[in-house]
Amino acid sequence: MFARLKQSADRYHELEQALADPDVHGQPVRMQSMLREMGALRSQAECYERWAELEDRRLKATEMLDDSDAELCELAREELEEVGAALEQMTEDLKREVADDDPNRGRAVMLEVRAGTGGDEATLFAGDLVRLYTRFAEQHGLKLEVLTSHPSEVGGYKEIVLSVAGPDAWDLFRFEAGGHRVQRVPATETQGRIHTSAATVAVLPEAEEVDVEIQESDLRIDTYRSSGPGGQNVNKTSSAIRITHEPTGTVVQCQDESSQHKNKARAMRMLRSRIRQAQEEASKAAVDASRRTQVGSGDRSERVRTYNFPQNRVTDHRIKTSYSLETVMLGNLRDIVEDLRRRDLEEKIAALTDGGEQASTSPGAA
């Protein structure tokens, strides 16, 4: 555990020194990435340095115990008692810091909402989720941008991709990934029967240019005319873009802008994020299942939440807790997020301990 914290502290100071280089300030994208990484590492670096200071005091006090001066030895014993108690508390703080480590903290998020089973009602539910997330983002001062969308004829969405930017975007939205189910009487139902429909949500940390290296020669770019509702410019120009990353087979497309250049820029943002996500998932697959540290897998096939309209209840199945549907649909997801975050941290701390990374206050632990 201490080795991981020391790595974080070392990396933090490495970035601090690198940012003093004037050449870095001439590279805005790289500088922003470094500042974001520093922000994610700051808490761990500060915790490790406080622990190292206490450990240094402990070692010096231990050496003083061998002194022939009785008064000095007594002072050393008092120091050791004080430092020992502080180190015990600090060890718990450090364990929490390691467990709560998240390399995606501070990143913008790509939120992909897709209608699932249920026909038109599923697309309407996808639209409800988008409105819920829009309100939630606004309440927390996050910037929301529609990257691409495929509206349905009845007013919902077959698919929509949103970018949510802000320091807390990842922390606030990361638990939304998975299958969302709704139980209600659709507007088109004439006999008052309750139907069950579904939508899936994917949450991807938005990748920056420095995160994923994409060779232009690896891309196949196709242009075509936009389709669907959109006004007079739709279907008149080949402004829509489809990009295929041939090494991975990843395909993205964007048609919302009238400018081909803007559509390509948005499509490249989605492509980078999906490739980075695929790389992360491949890396996680190699980790022993006993040390997985997430509430749920985040897989879109996993049902994470049910919205029951007749009973005015939202149930999150990962924590088996229910909330007021009326309150949640107004964008008040904070209670759900906090409960999920608390459970997530508890499971991570338990996994950290079970994995044998027991905290220790001896120098050998580092």
* Pairing state between β 321-324 and 313-316: antiparallel
In a domain, 31, yes or no: yes
In a domain, 360, yes or no: no
Residue 198 sits in the same domain as residue 120? yes
- pLDDT tens, 58-86? 888 888 887 778 888 888 888 898 888 88
In a domain, 159, yes or no: yes
**Last residue within a domain, chosen from 101, 130, 156:** 101
Q: Which residue has the higher pLDDT, 293 or 55?
A: 55
Residue 325 sits in the same domain as residue 189? yes
In a domain, 114, yes or no: yes
Q: Could you give the C-alpha distances from 286 to 99, 100, 290, 352, 366, in angstroms and in order?
A: 19, 21, 12, 17, 25
**Beta carbons of 86 and 152 less than 8 angstroms apart:** no
Residue 204 sits in the same domain as residue 231? no
Q: Return phi, psi of residue 227, to 5°.
A: -135, 160
pTM > 0.85: yes or no: no
What CATH code is carried by the domain that includes residue 221? Answer: 3.30.160.20
Residue 186 sits in the same domain as residue 308? yes
Q: What is the DSSP letter of 182?
A: E
**Beta carbons of 156 and 166 less than 8 angstroms apart:** no
The continuous run of DSSP H or E covering 93 comes out as helix 70-99
Find, among 24, 67, 61, 16, the residue nearest to 42 by Cα. 16
- Does residue 162 have a pLDDT over 70? yes
**Beta carbons of 196 and 118 less than 8 angstroms apart:** yes
Residue 95 sits in the same domain as residue 117? no
Give the pLDDT confidence score for residue 343 in this predicted structure. Answer: 92
Give strand pairing partners of 314: 307, 323
CA distance 277 to 106: 16
- Does residue 270 have a pLDDT over 80? yes
In a domain, 353, yes or no: no
CA distance 346 to 95: 11
pLDDT above 90: percentage of residues in the chain:
38
In a domain, 293, yes or no: no
Mean pLDDT of 179-200: 89
- Does residue 357 have a pLDDT over 60? no
Residue 150 sits in the same domain as residue 182? yes
Residue 67 sits in the same domain as residue 186? no
Q: Which residue has the higher pLDDT, 348 or 139?
A: 139
For residue 148, what are the domain limits? Answer: 109-210+300-347
Give the pLDDT confidence score for residue 12 in this predicted structure. Answer: 82
CA distance 36 to 57: 33
Residue 132 sits in the same domain as residue 94? no
Number of domains into which the chain is organized? 3
- Does residue 140 have a pLDDT over 90? yes
Average pLDDT taken over every residue of the chain: 83
Residue 76 sits in the same domain as residue 138? no
What CATH code is carried by the domain that includes residue 161? Answer: 3.30.70.1660
Residue 204 sits in the same domain as residue 307? yes
Which two tokens mark 77?
A: 């014993």
In 294-333, alpha helices (H): 325-329
Give the pLDDT confidence score for residue 45 in this predicted structure. Answer: 86
What CATH code is carried by the domain that includes residue 52? Answer: 1.20.58
Give the pLDDT confidence score for residue 361 in this predicted structure. Answer: 38
Residue 81 sits in the same domain as residue 221? no
In a domain, 16, yes or no: yes
Residue 162 sits in the same domain as residue 194? yes
Q: What is the DSSP letter of 61?
A: H
In the chain, alpha helices (H): 2-18, 22-25, 28-64, 70-99, 120-139, 169-173, 260-285, 325-329, 334-354
**Last residue within a domain, chosen from 233, 261, 285:** 285
